[in-house]
Chains A and B, each alone.
Chain A
Amino acid sequence: MPPPSSEISLTTIQKKVCLLGEFAVGKTSLVRRFVEGRFDDRYLSTIGVKISRKSVELPHGRINLLLWDLAGSDEFNGQIRANYLRGAAGALIVCDLTRPETLTGFHRYVEQIQTVGLSIPVVFVGNKVDLTDLRAISDDQLQAAAQQFGGQAFLTSAKTGHNVEDIFYRLAVQLHQRD
């Protein structure tokens, strides 16, 4: 009998997944929506790293995701972020669809992953798709940015929950396949 989700056995496959992106793109909100199923409109800057976990049921087993929600601010660049990234099995790189400059930062995060010698699955995410009036990044621009790094991009809304489960599930499937 599988252990209850609150008492996940340490023998369960565990994978570290890092969330990267500029500050205030909604990384913490995506994790909160995925793990706790809720959304909070207030913005609270993350400093350092917040680690959460959630178990994902896949057709051929279960995978326990350790979600490393990394601070987006510049203070946590360089060696600090390199150490956070070490040991990661996958990553989500997030941009805010209402702020074009957050898309141009994609290459920086891909470089950071490569710098620590990681070759891991990356899912690109355009968050805040619910803010249609403020939208400043088109679907084409987002896909083009993701394809530049051989990845796929998805539109999400941490506020409405749109596609949130899906992006983590997709990444979990990729991690499971690589195992």
Chain B
Amino acid sequence: MSKTSSTAWQCNYTNEIDGVKSATTLSQTILDILLSKNKLAYARVDDSLRVVETSCNFQAFFHRAEPLEGTLLPKLCEALIGSESVLREVMQGSLPEYLLEYVNDESGAEARFLTFHVWKNWGDEGGLFLLVEDVSPAARLEQRAVQARNELELLRRELDRANAELHRMALFDALTGLPNRRYLDEQLTRYVETARRTGTPFSLIMLDIDEFKAVNDLYGHLEGDDALRILASVLRTSIRNSDFVARYAGDEFCICLPMTESHQAHALAARIQRNLAEITRPANLRLTISLGIFSVSGQSPQAYTPQALLARADAALYRAKREGKNRICLEEAP
């Protein structure tokens, strides 16, 4: 930088003895500008928290007509009401500074943001110094940034919710609320793999409503939908936590029973029949189901793919239909 580039710099560089004085003059000039533009205001407060000395713009800064000397500091503006104990802490030196950032101020014609600093006056007079800055430009910039960030965050959460809903719709049947065929395929593969790895038995139940077409034809599709919902509810409440029930297609449902021998699967199938009868009896509704079970012992799960298991359970269901419906047929792997 050239020593002769400006008068001010020339003054600082050429008069080293008066360097401090020059800096003080510059500081005073800048302070005068800040005060005249109401960018800041300051006051000195005595031990009783009364204003004893203020910057020349203090009244104008706070949009007040009356002189403010003698006013209690907490009564100067709303931000300081109730702050007596904090101000005392600062005065005692136990709190180095009381700083209130970005206080929204709507007392004047134009809304602004103020930052309050309160420091202990370490001089002989005691008391406190109050400095108030108008930080509106920086605050408005920050407000826009925070607004954008928050809106983005809300949108992201909205997107997460929508994705979760899409995921749910992709894997669950809208009518019954049960997992759908796609979800069943995924889960069945996992169950079969686990049974194969651990050498544990596995059972699969396929079931459907007897004469479901007649229900639809006789009572209408809305009644048919109700029948599906009733059955889904019975299935949901009849199985164990470790089991998995899904709507396979139309009125067909499928239940995966990990670590379950054939006789246990049969007992569950019978329980489902009983529970369904109990639920439908009060409504005088005759709703029966046929069930086909295919069970694989712990010794032979490796011989069956998910598709093969489904085919064998379906064959058992078909046999139950053929033998008169409203019954349970069991097939066991050798």
Contacts and interface: CB of A to CB of B under 8 A. Distances in A.
A16 B151 contact: no
B143 to A, nearest CB: 5
Interface string B133-163: 0000001001100110111011001000000
B81 A16 contact: yes
B104 A50 contact: yes
A62 interface: no
A47 B82 contact: no
Interface in A21-75: 23-24, 43-51, 53, 66, 71, 73, 75
B65 to A, nearest CB: 15
Interface stretch (B28-36, B93-101, B184-192, B288-296): B93-101
A47 B151 contact: no
7 contacts: A14-B82, A47-B102, A48-B103, A49-B103, A73-B149, A73-B150, A83-B100
A22 to B, nearest CB: 10
Interface stretch (A84-92, A103-111, A160-168): A84-92
B85 A87 contact: yes
Nearest to B102: A48
B104 A51 contact: yes
A48 B101 contact: yes
Contacts of B82: 14-16, 66, 87-89
Contacts of B100: 49, 83-84
B82 to A, nearest CB: 4
Contacts of A170: none
Nearest to B135: A48
Contacts of A73: 146, 149-150
Interface residues of B, number: 28
Contacts of A80: 99, 101
Given A83-B99, A83-B100, A10 B75 contact: yes
A88 B81 CA distance: 10
A73 B82 CA distance: 24
B146 A83 contact: no
Contact of B146 (A16, A45, A66, A86): A45
Contacts of A75: 142, 146
B86 interface: yes
Contacts of A99: 157
B143 A53 contact: no
Given A47-B142, A66-B78, A99-B157, A87 B83 contact: yes
A71 to B, nearest CB: 8
Nearest to B116: A83
Contacts of A45: 143, 146-147, 150
Contacts, number: 77
Main secondary structure, interface of B, reads: helix
A79 to B, nearest CB: 8
B113 interface: yes
A80 B98 CA distance: 10
B315 interface: no
A101 B73 CA distance: 40
Contacts of A79: 99
A40 to B, nearest CB: 15
Nearest to A17: B82
Interface centre among A16, A43, A48, A73 (most CB of B within 10 A): A48
A45 B151 CA distance: 9
A105 to B, nearest CB: 13
B268 interface: no
A51 B104 CA distance: 7
A86 B147 contact: no
Given A24-B150, A43-B151, A48-B104, 16 more contacts: A23-B150, A43-B154, A45-B150, A47-B143, A49-B100, A51-B79, A51-B104, A73-B150, A76-B102, A83-B86, A83-B100, A86-B83, A86-B86, A87-B83, A87-B84, A87-B85
Query: Across chains A and B, which 3 residue pairs bring their CB atoms closest together, nearest first?
Result: A48-B102, A16-B82, A87-B82
Contacts of B150: 23-24, 43, 45, 73
A43 B100 CA distance: 24
A49 B102 contact: yes
Nearest to B72: A10
A10 B82 CA distance: 11
A24 B146 CA distance: 11
A89 B84 CA distance: 13
Contacts of B101: 48, 76, 80, 83
A48 B102 CA distance: 4
Contacts of B86: 83, 86-87
A34 to B, nearest CB: 16
B113 A48 contact: yes
Nearest to B86: A86
Contacts of B75: 10
